[in-house]
Amino acid sequence: MTEFQDQLRLKLSDIRKDSKSSGAFYPPTGIAEVLSIDAIRNCVFTIPHLNDNPRDIQRFATLIRETCIRIFAILLVNRDEEHITEFLFRRENDSRIPYTETGLYFFRDRNILIARRFVASQQEFDPVILKKGDIPRLLRDREVLPFLEDREVGHGAFGTVYKVVLHPTCQELVATRNGEVAIARKMLPPGSSAKEGNILDLVGTLNHAHIVEYFGSYTIKNVTNLLFSYVPINLREFLNTRPFSDPDIIFDSLYGLSDALGKIHTFFFKDVTGNVEISRIGYHHDMRPENVLVQGTTFLITDFGLSELRADDRTSKTRLKGGDDDYLGPESFNAVELCNGTVGRALDVWAFGCILLEIGVFIQGESVEEFRATRKDDITYGNSTITDCAFHLNGRLRPPVEKKLLSLEESENLQLKDYAALIRTMLDPNTNTRMKIQQATPKLGLIAIDSKVEAIHRQFRDVSYDKENRKTDTHKFILLEWACFKAWQSIFDAALHLDEKQVLMATIIPCLKKLESILQNRLRMQEQDEGKENPRTSEDKEVVESISLAVESLCRTVPTKHKQVLNDAWTHLVCDVDDIEILEALASAPLPDRYREVGIDAAKAFMCRVISDSIRAGRQDRLLVEGSVKLDNPSAMQQGGAEGPSRVLGFYLSQRVMIEYKAYDHRWTNDPGKEIHRTMNALVNLLDPEQTPRQGITRRRVLDCVGYFHEQQKCRFGFVYLLKNEKEIDISKLELFSLNHVIGMTQDAEATRRPNLGDIFLLAKELASCIHALHKVGWLHKKISSHFILVFSPDEAEAHEHVASAVLAGFDDSRPEASSVTLGPRAEYEHYQHPAYKQSVAFRKPFDYYGFGVVLLELGMWTQLSAMRDMAMQENPNNVDKKQFQQTLMKDYVDQLGERMGRIYRDVVEFCLMADDLVLEDAATDFQCDDLFKANVVDLLAKCFA
């Protein structure tokens, strides 16, 4: 059995490590691996008084393993393992280590040598376990630190820095999986005060990602050591070696660095209970590239040897105690008294501005060391001359510094221009007007956001739909997310106030970084799949979901008041895609809930483009088979509300339908006839929800078109619309009336035959929303009037009760806004048309607003426009000009709406009738037209209730 114990001793000697601080040590985990329960049981088997029976052997082995494994290891290495009984019977355990000879009283007399061997070797079995929060830990002179490497990497006036490699199981500082654990140790000069450690304890409460992590401190042999995370490269080395140079990453990290410095300048800590609050005025006073570490892509502030956190009722002003001359401001030296000057927090701002300028040189691809050399100059103070590479001379910026600043200011890169302007305010020689760090931080944040947004646009461009190599639904969805991202950017840039941006900055930047990371991974996966016959698709769903979540998190940062504007902007950006093939791809993609509305609008926009292109490129023929549409008896066509032969009810494949006719010139028979056929096909596709999906208001207020038929002898087309069930009314018994007809037959009747005010408001609201939705996708109606707002009712007497469910019709003259086709106003409805609309004038959105305004006026006054026209002619027979009639409406009728319908309704009508003048005056774009209509019509009508 002695041979077995020798093997254990050999295994223990194998795990023994040399400490670079003092002596050697046995890692606790190594001891536990060697002295397994079986190994201890085999040893106990040979020890008298413990091996009386097998049950006792197992019990004692377990007790040793759980309570005094290190004591047993010490005895085993000293070949005294049989004396473990002395410890067990006295209930001694590992927590008593280190023992003194006095503590081992039970080994006196004849066994005193056992006690001396134990005391001499026990330190190796009890190495220091470094833990976070040791503040400070006082170590005994003989304690062993588990340093596998302890190499000097830097030296300064306030301490020496070492790279320390710890045994991974002898520390609780850094999470590791059996890899190398490196930390930084700053050894302070003997006799140094505990000030730096105290400051680090407070600064550590900030948990700031851009302040080097402080683990704690220990003191041994009267020397204090501070422990930090180890970062092998500082900013000076980074600028010389260029491990990366992406401006968006650099600006982002500089923003974080500035924020960290700001938190030090105005330090505040409140514990989780709220019972402890600490407020301080702080400064660093040694900001320079060597004291900024670069961990991955993150810049970290380090070295707080000159720092101080003062009570907030004191000033930050103090006599300069040190620092790097190259990065000190003009105030750092008193040239009159030839001594260090009085400095405050502004000194940090100057130094940080110097660092920013060197990084600007770096971003431009130039050498920072060469820039440093150009700054080198001699300065004479009395009889002394010094040479430095500072950024100022005689109270002004040195010429090389001014030259570099001008170079940045003249850059074509907008972020660098803003960056240069910021640096100039930070390098103000006058400390009273020099920018404060709290002012610089949000400016750096905006630069970081702009730069990050540019980088994300480049990534989206490389991973979204492109018609050639990237054509799957995944690529289409990514293109939609890109449009949503652009919409978010438009709101952030144009709609948010600077104060709002500053508040949201801390939330937005992490969202942008997350999105950038996802897109980078997608691009990496795409590059790996390039050239493969079967690229990976299993991860496509997860990619789209992650991109969607990242973009949605950005959109959630937009204040509620701007949410609808963001959604509208998203729709506009999708619908304004120049390439019709891409628009068609978006329109044809399957529509998860997130994309449903914008995808539907994309489909509408696509069909609008198709109408423009249909003359040159035919699409699916929507011409119905002759005889498939059965019209009601001719007498039905002449019933009061049917407006003569322009509309009629009938059946199509047993479904109740309305037919709306469009006549054409009999001379259009050959080629022009083919052209108009193609136009009719595209128009039907727009109004068919199977081809062009729609939802919400447009589903309720626009009938579904199933096709058209051609009556060549009568030179007309008939558009076929399905009727919908309303309020459980038998649609086979419905009659058709125009709103104009309903108003005409009840305008002189008693009030009980008029619609409820609430029904009028409902119709006005939803028609406004419907027009807005059509305009958003570039579609112009061109014939809005009460003649083309249709009411379906079982009979004429009840027609006024069904006004609330009226639908918008008359699309036969409609065209996409981009179409060059314009037929001029139709004579029979000319007074619903804007006075400026003429044969040679292209139709525009405000012309639709005018027609809608006239309809609202008819609803509000419950009087036909023709009656208003007749009244005007009676008062002034010469009043035949449309412009004069517009003025008559404004003067004689609009003003009356206030008392009838309320101020809001009156203001809406006034806007609609005068919208074209407002748009021309402001030179509004299409997008702005939509916004004006929404704000002055849709949103205002939404407030009308009765």
Distance between CA 401 and CA 495 in Å, rounded? Answer: 37
How far lies 621's CA from each of 545, 625, 677, in Å? 38, 11, 9
Cβ atoms within 10 Å, residue 664: 16
Write the CA distances from 935 to 66, 536, 851, 859, integer angstroms. 76, 47, 18, 21
Task: Round to whole Å and give the CA distance between 786 and 861.
Answer: 13
Structure tokens at 298: 């993150």
Sign of CA dihedral 403, 408, 409, 412: positive
Are residues 261 and 318 in contact, defined by beta-carbon separation less than 8 angstroms? no
Those residues whose C-beta lies under 8 Å from the C-beta of residue 727, and which sit 6 or more positions away, are 805
SS (H, E, C) 538-605: CCHHHHHHHHHHHHHHHHCCCCHHHHHHHHHHHHHHHHCCCCHHHHHHHHHCCCCHHHHHHHHHHHHH
Six-digit token pair at 648? 């009629």
- CA angle at 357 for the pair 352 and 360, rounded to the nearest 5°: 125
633 phi, psi to nearest 5 deg: -60, 150
Reading the block at residue 112, the tokens are: 């005193």
847/839 Cα distance (integer angstroms): 13
Element (H, E) at 659: strand 655-663
9 residue type, one letter: R
Distance of CA 779 to the CA centre of its chain: 32
Residue 479: count of CB within 10 angstroms of its CB: 23
Do you know the residue count of the chain?
946
Query: What does the DSSP 8-state code read for residue 760?
Result: H
Decide if 805 contacts 792 (C-beta within 8 A): yes
Q: What is the DSSP letter of 110?
A: G
Dist. CA 742–CA 780, nearest whole Å: 26
Q: Which of 924, 930, 780, 794 is nearest to 851 (CA)?
A: 780
Give me the DSSP letters along 878-946: T---HHHHHHHIIIIIGGGHHHHH-HHHHHHHHHHHHHHHHHHHHT--HHHHHHHHIIIIIHHHTT---
Instruction: Identify which of 544, 551, 542, 543 has the alpha carbon closest to the alpha carbon of residue 573.
Output: 551
Residue written as token pair 């490497």 = 149
Question: Does the annotation flag 514 for ligand binding?
Answer: no
Cβ neighbours around 933 below 10 Å, total = 25
CA distance 39 to 423: 68
Among all chains, which residue has been given the structure tokens 């419907």?
Answer: 770
CA count, 13 A, side-chain hemisphere, 384: 6
912 vs 932: CA distance, rounded Å = 10
- As separate numbers, helices (DSSP H) first and strands (DSSP E) second, the chain gives 33, 33
Distance CA 724, CA 736 (A): 13
Chain centroid to Cα 673, Å, comes to 52
CB-based contact 706:721 (threshold 8 Å) = yes
Three-state secondary-structure class, residue 341 = coil
Contact criterion met (CB below 8 Å) for 429 and 329: yes
- The binding site consists of 186
- The binding site for ATP consists of 186
